[in-house]
Amino acid sequence: MLFYFFSDTKLNLDFSRSFFIASITALPFGLMFMLMMSMTRKSQKFWNYAKEVDKLVDEADTERMVYNIYNGPFQKLIDLAMGRAHQTELKRIYAIMQTKVKYLS
């Protein structure tokens, strides 16, 4: 293997050039993979927190409790939202809160 690195043959030039191109190509794909993993973790964090907020909304007995959930945990959930599926979940939870407030008042 060391012979290929230190020799003056055409094979060395081809190997060096292909190694350089592979390195340049691998960098963006590696960064995209890291970004994908980060987005997956953030998405999972959103869904776990959405379950907690949904449970809080289900357990709310008074109008005041629903308003407190809207001003606290629901706002944090809005900050965690990233995509269309998250927006749909936010709308679903918000609709439940609106219905609960109308029912309780």
Instruction: Kindly list the domain boundaries of the chain, sorted by start residue.
Output: 2-104
pLDDT at 3 over 70: no
What percentage of the chain exceeds 70 in pLDDT? 82
| Mean pLDDT of the region 3-19 | 56
Residue 15 to residue 4: CA distance in whole angstroms? 8
Looking at 11-15, 16-20, 38-42, which range is the least confident one?
Answer: 11-15
Can you give the pLDDT at residue 16? 67
Residue 104 to residue 57: CA distance in whole angstroms? 13
| Mean pLDDT of the region 17-46 | 83
Residue 21 to residue 25: CA distance in whole angstroms? 6
